Amino acid sequence: MIKILFVCHGNICRSTMAEFIMKDIVNKQGLSDIFHIESSATHTDEIWNGVGSPVYPPARAKLAEHGIGTKDNELGVSAKRARLTSRTDYDKFDFIIGMDCANIRNLNSLFRGDPEGKVRKMLEFAGREGDVADPWYTGNFDATWNDCSEGCHGLLRQIMVDPRFRDELSYNQDVSYDFDDDMTYKNDFQRYDDFPRG
Residue-wise pLDDT for 102-112, tens only, equals 999 999 999 99
Q: How many domains does the chain have?
A: 1
**Would residue 6 count as lying in a domain?**
yes
Q: What gap in Å lies between CA 45 and CA 41, rounded to an integer?
A: 9
pLDDT for the residue numbered 96: 98
**Would residue 83 count as lying in a domain?**
yes
3-state SS, residue 150: helix
36 with 2: CB under 8 angstroms?
A: yes
CA terminus-to-terminus distance, the chain:
26
Residues in the chain, pLDDT under 50: 173, 176-179, 181-198
**Would residue 135 count as lying in a domain?**
yes
Dihedrals phi, psi of 194, to nearest 5 degrees: -100, 5
**Would residue 39 count as lying in a domain?**
yes
Q: What gap in Å lies between CA 193 and CA 46, rounded to an integer?
A: 36
70 with 64: CB under 8 angstroms?
A: yes
Question: Catalytic positions, please?
Answer: 8, 14, 134
Enter the pTM of the model.
Answer: 0.88
**Would residue 198 count as lying in a domain?**
no
Domain extent at residue 110:
2-193
